[in-house]
Amino acid sequence: MSREQPVIAIDGPVSSGKSTAARALARALGFVYLSTGAMYRAVAIKARAAGIDPDSPDLAARLGTMLDSTRIEFSGERIMLDGRDVSREIGEPAIGDLASQLSTLGVVRARMRDLQRALGERGGVVMEGRDIGTAVFPDAEFKFFLDADVNVRARRRYAELAAKGVKTTFGEVLEQLRERDIRDQGRALAPLRRADDAVLVDSTDLDADQVVDAMKKRILAASNARKGLKRG
């Protein structure tokens, strides 16, 4: 099916700057911004509230049943879980970790993927996550993979958490980030990796504006090249 407008996929590890970049890019283009991490986090919130133990042997079956009666929607940039705004709660570090754990399961990934495809099918979206360019929209018109040195990412994450009043140390944040990278990259299903045709943007020495500028330039250059091809 041909889309009315392009899909822009941005993947990358924790604190690579992808949410900030995706949000700014969506605004600049008049596109919808979609955080797929927020969706996995909403699943984690519901699982925690339902008392589902991530180590239980029937985890997949329980999550499957839970997801049968779960509604995850966006209202602008707010994320709604069964009609309730959970935008603040999804930011909890423990929810991020649980989301990462639950996202290794096929039943969770399949439901999220279908939902994400439905949300993006008409295009005009900037969708960020771990597997957008590889699994959700392998045919996305534009793909970026955002990365940065792990120490720089930990510093950003630490500053973010400190600003929110979360008590932690830099060492703890670095350790958690490394663990999360290993889990997200090492899982069997749709692991975090750069799609062969994704443009790598290393944000180690770039600020948010520079990242967005780099992406905009790429999009413009590719759009002009496509127009040129059509004309020629």
Report if residue 14 touches ligand DC, rule: CB under 6 A: yes
Q: Which helix (H) or strand (E) element contains residue 129?
A: strand 125-129
**C-beta closer to ligand DC: residue 130 or 143:** 130
Query: What's the min distance (Å) between Cβ of 76 and ligand DC?
Result: 18
Cβ proximity to ligand DC, 41 vs 153, nearer residue: 41
Residue type, 8: I
- 131 in contact with ligand DC (CB under 6 A): yes
Q: Contact between 133 and ligand DC (CB under 6 A)?
A: no
Residues 6+ away with beta carbon under 8 Å from 69: none
Among 129, 199, 201, 212, binds ligand DC (CB under 6 A): 129
Q: Which stretch binds ligand DC (CB under 6 A): 34-42, 66-74, 157-165, 207-215?
A: 34-42
CB-side neighbour CA atoms (13 Å) of 188:
2
Instruction: Check the CA dihedral 10-11-17-23 and report its sign.
Output: positive
Nearer to ligand DC, 40 or 228 (CB): 40
**Among residues 29, 31, 34, 36, the one that binds ligand DC under rule CB under 6 A:** 36
Q: What is the CA radius of gyration of the chain?
A: 18
Q: Does 40 bind ligand DC (CB under 6 A)?
A: yes
Beta carbon of residue 31, minimum distance to ligand DC (angstroms, whole number): 18
CB 147 within 8 A of CB 12: yes
Q: Are strands 78-81 and 72-75 parallel, antiparallel or unpaired?
A: antiparallel
**String marking each residue 177-196 x if it binds ligand DC according to CB under 6 A:** ---x---x------------
Based on the shown chain and the rule CB under 6 A, indicate whether residue 134 belongs to the binding site for ligand DC. no
Show Cβ contacts of residue 218 under 8 Å, excluding neighbours closer than 6 positions. 142, 144, 199
- Choose the binding region for ligand DC from 21-29, 129-137, 146-154, 202-210 (rule: CB under 6 A): 129-137
What is the Cα–Cα distance from 195 to 23, expressed in whole angstroms? 21
Q: How far is the CB of 27 from ligand DC (least distance, A)?
A: 19
Chain center to CA of 86: 16
Q: Does 111 bind ligand DC (CB under 6 A)?
A: no
Residue 125 main-chain phi, psi, to 5 deg: -130, 150
CA atoms of 230 and 200, how far apart (whole Å): 26
CA distance 37 to 103: 10
Is 158 an interacting residue with respect to ligand DC (CB under 6 A)? no
Q: Which is nearer to ligand DC, 178 or 228 (CB)?
A: 178
In the complex, the residues that contact ligand DC under the rule CB under 6 A are 14, 36-37, 40-41, 96, 99-100, 103, 129-132, 180, 184
